Chain A
Amino acid sequence: MTFIWLWTDFLLWVLFALSMFAVVKIRANELLRQKWQKIFAQPLALSAFIVFAFYILIGLSDSIHFRLDNNTTTYSVLDRMLLPALEAEEKTYSTPLNFEQFSKEYLDNGLRGRVHLNLPPAEITNASDNTKNILAISANALFYAVGIFLVFILFLEKFTPINTKNNRSAFVTIFALMFFCTWVALMMPNYHILGTDKAGIDVFYKAVKSIRTGMIFGLLTTLLALPPAIILGLMAGYFKGKTDDVIQYIYTTINAIPGILLIAALVLILQVYMDEHASDYASSLERSDLKLLLLCVILALTSWTGLCRLIRAETLKLSELEFVQAAKVFGVSNIKILFNHLMPNVMHLVLISIVLDFSGLVLIEAVLSYVGVGVDATTMSWGNMINAARLELSTDPVVWWPLASSFIFMFILVLSANLFADRVRQVFDPKGDDNA
């Protein structure tokens, strides 16, 4: 078994390490710890965070790629977990949890009928048997989920200071996620949970695989946009004068170019460039991965200006305050003032912009795919799914499940991110409304 590290894998894990480091730092700092406790004290925010963390976990498990020795395909850890869905090959459409194909065709016996799917058990031949089977599996899953949940609660009561009587909504969320996991684990070897698409590929598999793409869009873009935004923003606000003029000029100019057009133009150019250098990439996986990364770079290029402007304004105010003046008088070097004294004081703006931008970036991925300047066609993403499923709505009878699945998966991620972001902004933004 050989591990394969894609660029985005590497960067995601770097990001993960950075956030773990930030958690350690926050725990050491009394003031920050109190703020974060205040964030999680709101049940809605805590639940949203748990769901969000669950998505991240899936995304991370999809970011460890390896190749088995006797095989040429590259798998991720998530692929191995979803193996039944990945390997069951159907011919064409089937509705969620169905045992036979969506459309009728001529069978071997010469009659017209629906072909039995490969994955569901062969002994199920009519709809009522199918419903019974599904209910039985669901009941089983519920049983396991309750068991695991009770063990989990007992463990928390026994070994941690967490009070399980409080935080009811958080535990409801955790239970819901546990039930979801056991249900999927039991259902997947027997059914296509969300049906199959035109090419017979499991829709649930596609929707889950898209989580990683959405996460990379939302997280990596901001990560890439942070260094220019922070450094230039601090410099403009602190040095003022000529430096400020130049930096202001740069971001006004970039802002002046309509965002989506700039992105479209950059991606067009990127596409032409990659087509001409197609032979440089070892595999199509690496090629599509590189394109995803470069797309994030492009989005970052167009999106750092907003944060930069905020940081500049804040630094302008801060640099007039006594502690900065005092540092100057004591002969502290400019670099030290910038990074030791000013930067920690604008970090709340950085945090707010990370969480607020995340959901917008996930949503824009779908739009970019529609415009034709999105991720590679071979990359699984909600945008590609929506784009492919758009025409299926006009068929009769309507093929609704690929579209619905991608929208629901996207909606839950974006909603949890938005709810959490809202709370973070409330606590960290001094101007924020305080009706909580």
Chain B
Amino acid sequence: MWTYILRRALYSIPILLGVNLITFLLFFMVNTPDDMARIQLGAKHVTQADIHTWKEEKGYNKPLFVNTDQSGSAVLTDTIFYQKSIPLFQLDFGHSDSGRNINKDIAQRMWPSLALAIPSFIIALITNIVFAMWMVMLLGTKLERMSLIFTVALMSISGLFYIIIGQKIVAGMWHWFPVSGYQAGFESWRFVMLPVLIGVVAGLGAGVRWYRSIFLEEINKPYVNTARAKGLSEQQVLFKHVLKNAMIPILTGVVVVIPSLFMGSLIMESFFSIPGLGSYTIDAINSQDFAIVRAMVFLGSILYIVGLLLTDISYTWVDPRVKFK
């Protein structure tokens, strides 16, 4: 099993290389370092000398891929690509264009993100599965058909609507929760409750339908008929057999997103002014800080790949039939 995991881990290296190459091409080829300097220094009254000093400070004063002035291996290493890529693989994100230490920011902003993302994830998972099971139990009834249409309606409402209306009514008019903001430590639950609630409701339609389709696929399999023929009650069939077997497809969809919870939610965090990684990214996008956006893209990719790896591992854990080939 360990060799299997190791091989999967090795397989992710070329993917990370690819991600790095794509992001590098995006950020450095389309906009040359000169363009970036102009953005950061302000568009007007920038002399060539200013640009030059800025580039030198940030380490952008080298050729992109091949440095013909150097000899030996330095031809490839003394370039922006090499100098900016290697630290990323060591998880050293360096400094943002405005001079902040990105690693320090991430370490600090990770906690509010997690405080929001983990409860949202767990509560949404449970609610979605419970409602989906409930709908499967009602299969074929009028109530089921009504609730199916209801989930379509829920799904058709823009997520922004839930956020804006939730914030306005629950926090603004009823004063159940603070409208926005954050406080570290134990007090954080008061600030996190409303975004969690809204996140769960906003994802309910799509989530319930997804789990429902998984359960329906299971319920048409022969073993369910066998279980029924043995005389098991419908509850026993559903909870003991269908739910257990449905865990495999559920795991594929769920485990892969767990590491990405670190990244936080762009929309939720910025609406509720939670100082997590999501709002960090949005701020970076708005201030066109390419170093931060690049770091976050890379971090997100690593977390996704870790998610894929975890999925593979969890497979072997829930389904002994999976062979390590």
Residues of chain A whose beta carbon lies under 8 Å from any beta carbon of chain B: 44, 249-250, 252-258, 260-262, 264-266, 268-269, 272-273, 276, 359, 363, 366-367, 370-373, 382, 386, 390, 393-394, 403, 407, 410-411, 414-415, 418-419, 422, 431, 433, 435
Contacts and interface: CB of A to CB of B under 8 A. Distances in A.
12 contacts: A250-B18, A256-B301, A257-B23, A257-B300, A261-B281, A268-B285, A359-B156, A366-B158, A370-B160, A371-B266, A393-B168, A415-B156
A253 B281 contact: no
B32 to A, nearest CB: 10
A363 B305 CA distance: 27
A390 B266 CA distance: 17
Interface of B: 14-16, 18-19, 22-23, 26-27, 30-31, 35, 39, 139-140, 145, 149, 152-153, 155-161, 164, 168, 172, 213, 216-217, 260, 263, 266-267, 281-282, 285-286, 288, 290, 293-294, 296-297, 300-301, 304-305
Contact of A367 (B139, B149, B267): B267
A366 B160 contact: yes
A433 B160 contact: no
A350 to B, nearest CB: 20
Nearest to B263: A258
B156 A272 contact: no
A410 B293 CA distance: 30
Contacts of B159: 363, 367
B35 A261 contact: no
A371 B15 contact: no
Contacts of A268: 285, 288, 290, 293
Contact of A403 (B149, B164, B263): B164
B15 A256 contact: yes
Contacts of B23: 257, 265
A371 B304 contact: no
B285 A418 contact: no
Contacts of A264: 281, 285, 293
What are the 4 A-B residue pairs with the smallest beta carbon separation, nearest first? A258-B300, A253-B18, A415-B156, A414-B156
Contacts of B39: 272
Contacts of A260: 266
A70 to B, nearest CB: 38
Contacts of B160: 366-367, 370, 386
B165 to A, nearest CB: 9
B22 A258 contact: no
Contacts of B153: 415
Contacts of A393: 164, 168
A269 B30 CA distance: 7
Given A256-B16, A264-B281, 14 more contacts: A250-B18, A256-B304, A258-B263, A258-B297, A261-B281, A261-B300, A262-B297, A265-B293, A367-B158, A367-B159, A371-B282, A372-B285, A403-B164, A415-B153
Contacts of B294: 265
Given A363-B158, A367-B159, A435-B140, A253 B19 contact: yes
B23 to A, nearest CB: 7
Contacts of B16: 256
Contacts of B158: 363, 366-367, 382, 386, 407, 410-411, 414
